[in-house]
Amino acid sequence: MKKYLRTKILVYVLTFIFAVTIDWLIPRLMPGNPILVLVSRFSGLPESARVMYSYLTKAFGLDQPLWKQYFNFWIAFLKGDLGISIYLYPKPVLDVLKSALPYSLGILLPSILASWFAGNSIGALAARRRRLDSILLPIMYFINGAPYLWLGIILAYYFGVVLRWFPIAGAYSFGLRPHLSWLFVGNFLKHWILPFLSLFIVQLGGWAIGMRNMVIYELESNYSRFLETLGVKNSLIRKYAFRNAILPQITGLALQLGTVIAGQVTTEVVFSYPGIGYILTQAILNQDYFLIQGCFIFIIIGVLIANFTVDLVYVALDPRIRYSYGGEIS
Amino acid sequence: MKRVFIFSTMFLVLFASLIWADVVYPRKETLYAGGGLWSPPSNWNPITPWNAVTGTVGLIYETLFGYNPLTDELIPWLAESGRWTSKNTFEIKLRRGATWHDGTPFTAKDVKFTYELAKQIPEIYYSPIWTWLARIDTPDDYTVIFTFSSPRYHEWTYNIYQTAILPQHIWSKKTKDEILSGANEKAIGTGPYLFETYSDDRMVYLRNENWWGNKVFGQPKPKRIVYLRVLSNNVALGMIMKGELDISNFFLPGVPTLKKTYSDIHTWFEKEPYMLSDNVAYLFINTTKKPLNDPNLRRAIAFAIDPSVIARTVFEGQVLPSNPVGFLPIKGWMKYYPENAAKQFGFKYDPKTARELLDKAGYRDINKDGFREAPDGSKFKIEIIVPFGWTDWMESIKIIASQLRQVGINAEAKFPDYSKYWEDLTTGKFDMAINNFNSQITVSPWTMYNWVFNSQISSEMYNGNFGRYNNQRLFDLITQLNMTPMDDVAGCKRIIEQIAEIHLKEMPAIPLWYNGMWFQASTQVWKNWPSEKSPYAYPVTWGGRWQTGGVLMLIGLKQ
């Protein structure tokens, strides 16, 4: 067990350094110049634009050679400083993330986890009952295939504009100031439900179909047949099939959880909901090296943590892994 | 025990209602606005105005003058009056009784400080003024005398309604870094609104009840302005229809159609073009590339494009085609309109003339592939670029490309990402591109010329003259215009005639259409929006533009 953890942690640290280096490098390989883009937004006299250009290039340290910028980046990173955003100048990247991430996570984590649980339950259920399966499967395929943008707009239009049950923009009413009261919490939830629901629905189909197929596959594998011929109870066979089928679903969940941040742009645009997704696309369009870096460092950390957790969960779930690292199987 | 309970309940209820009053904005007192905020609020520093939240200048900080483009009048704002006392001295009398939000009186010292700060710190954007401004004197607390070494009348007039005046008692204590790159949260200005709060999708301003202007102009009606960050057109449109957004400065496709069914949507004109014209969309041509370095080809291109098709189809009639010299149809510009040059050398959509011009200049289809070759026989293809996602412009250049193909010029529309587009423009790698970043309504057409023909040609054009058109005589004329007093209309016009003649003969940038002052308002809560029939204010809430009408509109609103 110790050996297993040691190897894993070493691999993760190396992966982190490598991934962050790539994350640092790739924005800088993009064509274009972020300071020029920043200056472009200034509609003043051309003479003034020149003055600002030279000041900002120096202020962001972009006049230094690349290797020096790279070292500066790591030194600052180890001090917990992710630099200053160019797009949201002069807000520090860490502050940008702090104010935007909670909104993203507040939508994404619940929707992914809820759709995972619901999808797996529905899938497993469908695999067991033929008749249910023939109804559920087409629905799930439909949901899974529906373009997200389209679904989001339909939800926003129908529930927001036609029925007027839910608001269509913002994280809470624009006439409110955040404070602790039922009014505010209720208002927040009302704004939260549509974006949440849209993401929940689109992800549901994929999980359900995956689970259904896996369970059917396991039920028809040799060990199930063998158990059947031995006359074992059906419920026990299903239990084994389920335990085997859940493994790939967990890996899928880990990958989803890791990349949550990037997958939210459309939700934010359709529901005009704050969050990091839109900021990240804008950062890329504005070539905001520091903000892109900062966002992806969070994604990298997210992916690594999620995978590490899954590694640990696997040990608990899958005895084969446990035994192979314990040396019981040589 | 019972009494304690009752007391504490009463106290709690009282306390809760106290909080209540402050955290729920009553709908009737609040104005919801959108169209000028695209990123989470992060900056209220008037020294970095291009990144400051809209309203930083205008609502919080104020300028010496305002400008009303509808009447072409400078509005004395923090200044009570201003005039040229000699050829190179400008004297400003300040208003008495104006105070900063913290109660400190506003005086001549603040004005002097604001300008001199840019002398101490040359990184401040308006520091180039010190190459032509000699000194500032303040004989008393309410008089400021600017003495110029070489007065630039047009630039100065533009400057006095653009430069936000800073409080000396606060900003003199800031370090250089704080001044240049501070976020300046909780900004203290002299303006009609105070910084109240913000979050990632909104900025909230609270009315300044002690604003000096209440007695002069009247009090702005909304107690609060909540400026929303709306991320897509359909959300903005939905919010206007639901009455959740009072004023929108977005370009919204479909407004002409919607107006027929939803009478609540207010626009400036009841009929086409619905919107006022705000800035000129120019087609820049790279004059350093072959064969676009040939003015004959550029002129032929101008004749081959029909902006009225673009205005009708892409913009659904919400914009107007430009006149040949790119003058916005406002008093302040049209008084200098170069009729002679426009009549003699002007162009209009005329594919026949375009073909003749091309034939005469030697552009013929030699290899019979349907496209003309350059006079030296080489094939060429022109790429027109606009940023990806700017859908109205994307459609426009598709039309332009097809119109050019009709006269035999091989042209294609391309949509790079914004940063790539901008890099191509600034470094001169493009063939043709549409841009309008600095052609907006101002007090003088000089600002447009100074941008279209920016004389500082270098490897990177930060702004303007992207086609790198180099003509010293033209640059001298533009400088000369800048140094001719603005009230010498005949003198200015004489120079502009010459500028326009060069422009039209050489055609390094083609004015195509006027982008609109996009303005849709909902009449559900606020009424008396400015319009064609009651043109009391220019309906703008974009950053850096509140002093040209936005504040006056807030004062004129009714319920």
Average of per-residue pLDDT across A76-96: 89
Name the residue among A169, A177, A183 with its Cβ closest to that of B239. Answer: A169
User: In Å, how far is B544's CA from the nearest CA of chain A?
Assistant: 9
Residue B60 has pLDDT above 90, yes or no: yes
Residues from chain A that touch B31, judged by Cβ atoms under 8 A, are none
Considering only alpha carbons, which residue of chain A is nearest residue B438?
A43
Residues from chain A that touch B548, judged by Cβ atoms under 8 A, are none
Residue B209 has pLDDT above 50, yes or no: yes
pLDDT category at A239 given cuts 50, 70, 90 is confident
Considering only alpha carbons, which residue of chain B is nearest residue A167?
B239
What is the distance between the alpha carbons of residues B424 and A36, in angstroms, rounded to a whole number? 11
What integer pLDDT is reported at residue B461 of this predicted model?
A: 83
User: For chains A and B, what is the number of CB pairs under 8 angstroms?
Assistant: 206
Residues from chain B that touch A61, judged by Cβ atoms under 8 A, are none
What is the distance between the alpha carbons of residues B539 and B531, in angstroms, rounded to a whole number? 9
What is the distance between the alpha carbons of residues A220 and B86, in angstroms, rounded to a whole number? 99
Residue B266 has pLDDT above 60, yes or no: yes
Residues from chain A that touch B124, judged by Cβ atoms under 8 A, are 51
Kindly report the backbone phi and psi dihedral angles of residue A204, in degrees, each rounded to the nearest multiple of 5, phi listed first. -55, -50
Residues B35, B249: contact at Cβ < 8 Å? Answer: yes
Average of per-residue pLDDT across A166-176: 85
pLDDT digits (tens, 9 = 90+) for B78-127: 999 999 999 999 999 999 999 999 999 999 999 999 999 999 998 888 99
Q: Which has the closest alpha carbon to A248: A300, A310, A302, A308?
A: A310
Q: Hey, are the CB atoms on B182 and A34 less than 8 Å from each other?
A: no
Q: Hey, are the CB atoms on B24 and A91 less than 8 Å from each other?
A: no
Residue B457 has pLDDT above 60, yes or no: yes
Residues from chain A that touch B426, judged by Cβ atoms under 8 A, are 33, 36, 40
Within chain A, where are the H helices?
2-29, 34-40, 46-59, 66-78, 93-128, 130-145, 148-155, 182-219, 222-230, 234-258, 265-271, 276-285, 289-317, 319-326
Q: Hey, are the CB atoms on A51 and B162 less than 8 Å from each other?
A: no
Q: Hey, are the CB atoms on A175 and B24 less than 8 Å from each other?
A: yes
Instruction: Check whether the bond before B324 is cis (ω within 30° of 0).
Output: no
Residues B519, B33: contact at Cβ < 8 Å? Answer: no
A77 CB-near residues (< 8 Å, 6+ apart):
A20, A297
User: In Å, how far is A31's CA from the nearest CA of chain B?
Assistant: 6
Average of per-residue pLDDT across B469-478: 96
Name the residue among A33, A271, A279 with its Cβ closest to that of B423. Answer: A33
Fill in the DSSP letter of residue B462.
S
Name the residue among A40, A178, A282 with its Cβ closest to that of B422. Answer: A40
Task: State chain B's mean pLDDT as an integer.
Answer: 92
What integer pLDDT is reported at residue B242 of this predicted model?
A: 84
What integer pLDDT is reported at residue B22 of this predicted model?
A: 63
Order of strands, sheet of B133-140, starting from the edge strand that comes earlier in the sequence? B79-86, B89-94, B143-148, B133-140
What is the distance between the alpha carbons of residues B459 and B440, in angstroms, rounded to a whole number? 25
Instruction: Check whether the bond before A90 is cis (ω within 30° of 0).
Output: yes
Q: Hey, are the CB atoms on A100 and B162 less than 8 Å from each other?
A: no
Q: Hey, are the CB atoms on B228 and A183 less than 8 Å from each other?
A: no
Residues from chain B that touch A156, judged by Cβ atoms under 8 A, are 235, 238
Task: Tell me the range of B34-38, B152-156, B250-254 where mean pLDDT is highest.
Answer: B152-156
What is the distance between the alpha carbons of residues B376 and B56, in angstroms, rounded to a whole number? 55
Query: Position of tokens 């250089």?
Result: B176
Q: Which has the closest alpha carbon to B427: B459, B381, B388?
A: B459
Which among B242, B262, B419 is the top mutation candidate for probing chain A, defined by the most A β-carbons within 10 Å of its own β-carbon?
A: B419
Q: Hey, are the CB atoms on B128 and A87 less than 8 Å from each other?
A: no
User: In Å, how far is B439's CA from the nearest CA of chain A?
Assistant: 9
User: In Å, how far is B168's CA from the nearest CA of chain A?
Assistant: 22
pLDDT category at B418 given cuts 50, 70, 90 is confident
pLDDT category at B208 given cuts 50, 70, 90 is very high
Q: Which has the closest alpha carbon to B48: A239, A39, A180?
A: A39
Q: Hey, are the CB atoms on B460 and A53 less than 8 Å from each other?
A: yes
CATH fold label, B62-179: Dipeptide-binding Protein; domain 1 (3.90.76)
Residue B241 has pLDDT above 90, yes or no: no
Q: Hey, are the CB atoms on B423 and A32 less than 8 Å from each other?
A: yes
Beta bridge partners, B140, equal B143
CATH-assigned architecture of domain B277-516: Roll (3.10)
Of A118-122, A241-245, A320-324, where does mean pLDDT reach its minimum? Answer: A320-324
pLDDT category at B13 given cuts 50, 70, 90 is low
What integer pLDDT is reported at residue A8 of this predicted model?
A: 85
Q: Which has the closest alpha carbon to B184: A288, A56, A89?
A: A89
> Where are the domains positioned within chain B?
62-179, 193-275+518-556, 277-516
Share of chain A above pLDDT 90, in %: 14
pTM value is 0.87
What is the distance between the alpha carbons of residues A34 and B422, in angstroms, rounded to a whole number? 10
Q: Hey, are the CB atoms on B123 and A43 less than 8 Å from each other?
A: no
What integer pLDDT is reported at residue A329 of this predicted model?
A: 45
Which among B43, B427, B437, B463 is the top mutation candidate for probing chain A, defined by the most A β-carbons within 10 Å of its own β-carbon?
A: B463
Name the residue among B19, B126, B437 with its Cβ closest to that of A43. Answer: B437
What integer pLDDT is reported at residue A158 of this predicted model?
A: 87
CA distance to B219, B324, B529, per residue, from B514 (Å): 33, 12, 22
B35 CB-near residues (< 8 Å, 6+ apart):
B230, B236, B247, B248, B249, B250, B518, B541, B542
Residue B7 has pLDDT above 90, yes or no: no
pLDDT category at B4 given cuts 50, 70, 90 is low
Q: Hey, are the CB atoms on B23 and A177 less than 8 Å from each other?
A: yes
Residue B10 has pLDDT above 60, yes or no: no
- The domains located in chain A, with CATH, are 92-324 (1.10.3720.10)
What integer pLDDT is reported at residue B383 of this predicted model?
A: 96
Q: Hey, are the CB atoms on A91 and B43 less than 8 Å from each other?
A: yes
User: In Å, how far is A146's CA from the nearest CA of chain B?
Assistant: 20
Q: Hey, are the CB atoms on A269 and B51 less than 8 Å from each other?
A: no
Per DSSP, the three-state class of B278 is strand
CA distance to A83, A92, A258, B539, per residue, from A80 (Å): 9, 11, 21, 45
Fill in the DSSP letter of residue A160.
I
Q: Hey, are the CB atoms on A32 and B419 less than 8 Å from each other?
A: yes
What integer pLDDT is reported at residue A233 of this predicted model?
A: 87
Residue B153 has pLDDT above 90, yes or no: yes
Q: Hey, are the CB atoms on B463 and A42 less than 8 Å from each other?
A: yes
Of A219-233, B12-26, B398-412, B445-459, where does mean pLDDT reach its minimum? Answer: B12-26
Q: Which has the closest alpha carbon to A41: B126, B50, B250, B45?
A: B50
Q: Hey, are the CB atoms on B426 and A272 less than 8 Å from each other?
A: no
pLDDT category at B554 given cuts 50, 70, 90 is very high
Q: What is the DSSP annotation of B6-39?
A: HHHHHHHHHHHHHHHHHHB--GGGEEEEESS--S
What integer pLDDT is reported at residue B3 of this predicted model?
A: 60
Residue A285 has pLDDT above 90, yes or no: no
Average of per-residue pLDDT across B188-195: 96
Average of per-residue pLDDT across B237-257: 89
Q: Hey, are the CB atoms on B437 and A52 less than 8 Å from each other?
A: no
Q: Hey, are the CB atoms on A274 and B201 less than 8 Å from each other?
A: yes
Average of per-residue pLDDT across B494-521: 96
User: In Å, how far is B23's CA from the nearest CA of chain A?
Assistant: 5
User: In Å, how far is B375's CA from the nearest CA of chain A?
Assistant: 34
Share of chain A above pLDDT 70, in %: 94
Q: Which has the closest alpha carbon to B409: B445, B382, B448, B387?
A: B382
Residues B440, B330: contact at Cβ < 8 Å? Answer: no
Side chain identity at residue B513, one-letter code: W
What is the distance between the alpha carbons of residues A92 and B499, in angstroms, rounded to a whole number? 46
Radius of gyration of chain A (CA): 25
What integer pLDDT is reported at residue A259 of this predicted model?
A: 65
pLDDT digits (tens, 9 = 90+) for A18-61: 999 999 998 888 877 888 888 777 656 667 777 778 888 888 88
CA distance to A33, A51, A279, B119, B422, per residue, from A285 (Å): 11, 23, 10, 34, 11
Q: Hey, are the CB atoms on B450 and A46 less than 8 Å from each other?
A: yes
Fill in the DSSP letter of residue B77.
S
What is the distance between the alpha carbons of residues B271 and B201, in angstroms, rounded to a whole number? 33
Which among B42, B126, B157 is the top mutation candidate for probing chain A, defined by the most A β-carbons within 10 Å of its own β-carbon?
A: B42
Q: Tokens representing A214?
A: 């896996």
What integer pLDDT is reported at residue A330 of this predicted model?
A: 40
Residue A245 has pLDDT above 80, yes or no: yes
Residues from chain A that touch B231, judged by Cβ atoms under 8 A, are 268-269, 272, 278
Residue B411 has pLDDT above 80, yes or no: yes
What's the CATH number of domain B193-275+518-556, 3.40.190.10, 1.25.40.10, 3.40.50.970, 3.40.630.30?
3.40.190.10
Which among B156, B223, B235 is the top mutation candidate for probing chain A, defined by the most A β-carbons within 10 Å of its own β-carbon?
A: B235
Q: Tokens representing B454?
A: 């920016």
Residues from chain A that touch B454, judged by Cβ atoms under 8 A, are 46
Residue A210 has pLDDT above 70, yes or no: yes
Of A158-167, A204-213, B168-177, where does mean pLDDT reach its minimum? Answer: A158-167
Name the residue among B23, B417, B426 with its Cβ closest to that of A176. Answer: B23
Residue B525 has pLDDT above 90, yes or no: yes
Q: CA-based angle B226:A109:A320, to the nearest 5?
A: 165
